[in-house]
Chains A and B, each alone.
Chain A
Amino acid sequence: MFQPASLKGDSPTPIDENVRKKFIPLYILIILLSFIPVSIMEYFIVLYLWRIQFYVIFILLFPLNLICMIYLLQFSAIVISFLILKMINLIHAPKEGIFERNVKDKEYYFWNMRNIVKKWALFVTASNPFPWLKNRFTLRFFGVRIGKHTLCDNTWISSEFVRIGKNVILGMNSTILTFGIEQDKFILKRILIEDEALIGAKCVLLPGTIVKKKAKLAAHSYSNYDFILEEDCLYGGHPAKIIE
Chain B
Amino acid sequence: MKSEISAKNVQFISTSGVYKTPFTLVIIVQLYVGVLITILANSWYWNNLYYYFTGQIIFPYPINDSILERVFFICLIPLNIYGCAYLFAFSIILFSVVIFKILNKLSPQKEGIFLRDTKEWKYVHRKFWTAFFPVWLARALPIPWADIFVYRFFGVRIGKNVVLYEGYVDPYFIEIGNFTMTSLNICIFSHLIYQDRVLIQKVKIGEACVVGPQTIISPGTQMDDRAILGANSYTMIGQRLESDLIHVGTPVNIKLPLQSVEESQEKVTKIKESPKKMEE
Contact = CB atoms under 8 A, between A and B. Distances in A.
Interface of A: 1-7, 52, 55, 59-60, 62-64, 66-67, 129-132, 136, 149, 151, 153-154, 167, 169-173, 196, 198-202, 216-221, 234, 236, 243-244
Interface stretch (B20-28, B73-81, B221-229, B259-267): B20-28
A170 B193 CA distance: 10
30 contacts: A1-B128, A3-B139, A4-B147, A4-B165, A5-B139, A7-B166, A52-B56, A62-B39, A63-B35, A66-B31, A66-B35, A129-B31, A130-B24, A149-B19, A154-B16, A171-B14, A173-B185, A173-B187, A198-B15, A198-B194, A200-B13, A201-B14, A201-B15, A201-B216, A216-B9, A218-B12, A219-B13, A220-B214, A236-B250, A244-B9
A96 B34 CA distance: 48
Contacts of B167: 4, 7
Interface secondary structure of B, over-half rule = mixed
B136 interface: yes
A236 B35 contact: no
Contacts of A130: 24, 27
B8 interface: yes
A42 to B, nearest CB: 15
A236 B184 CA distance: 23
Contacts of A219: 12-15, 216, 234, 250
A131 B24 CA distance: 10
Nearest to B135: A2
A1 B168 contact: yes
Contacts of B139: 2-5
B15 A170 contact: yes
B32 interface: yes
A2 B131 contact: yes
Contacts of B239: none
Given A132-B24, A202-B216, A6 B184 contact: yes
A3 B216 contact: no
Contacts, number: 140
B143 to A, nearest CB: 13
Interface in B128-151: 128, 131-133, 135-137, 139, 147
Nearest to B128: A1
B17 A172 contact: yes
Contact of B136 (A2, A67, A151, A169): A2
B261 to A, nearest CB: 28
A116 to B, nearest CB: 26
A153 B17 CA distance: 7
A192 to B, nearest CB: 19
A131 B16 CA distance: 14
A59 B39 CA distance: 8
Contacts of B17: 1, 151, 153-154, 171-172
Contacts of A220: 214, 216, 232-234, 250
Contact of B9 (A63, A170, A234): A234
B118 interface: no
B116 to A, nearest CB: 10
Interface in B176-225: 184-185, 187, 189, 193-195, 214, 216
Given A2-B136, A6-B185, A66-B35, A153 B20 contact: yes
The 7 A-B pairs of least Cβ separation, nearest first, read A218-B12, A171-B15, A63-B35, A2-B135, A63-B32, A172-B16, A154-B17
Contacts of B19: 149, 151
Contacts of B135: 2
Given A173-B185, A198-B195, 12 more contacts: A3-B139, A4-B147, A7-B185, A55-B59, A63-B36, A67-B31, A130-B24, A136-B20, A151-B17, A173-B187, A202-B187, A216-B12
Interface in B87-102: none
A104 to B, nearest CB: 37
Contacts of B31: 63, 66-67, 129
B256 interface: no
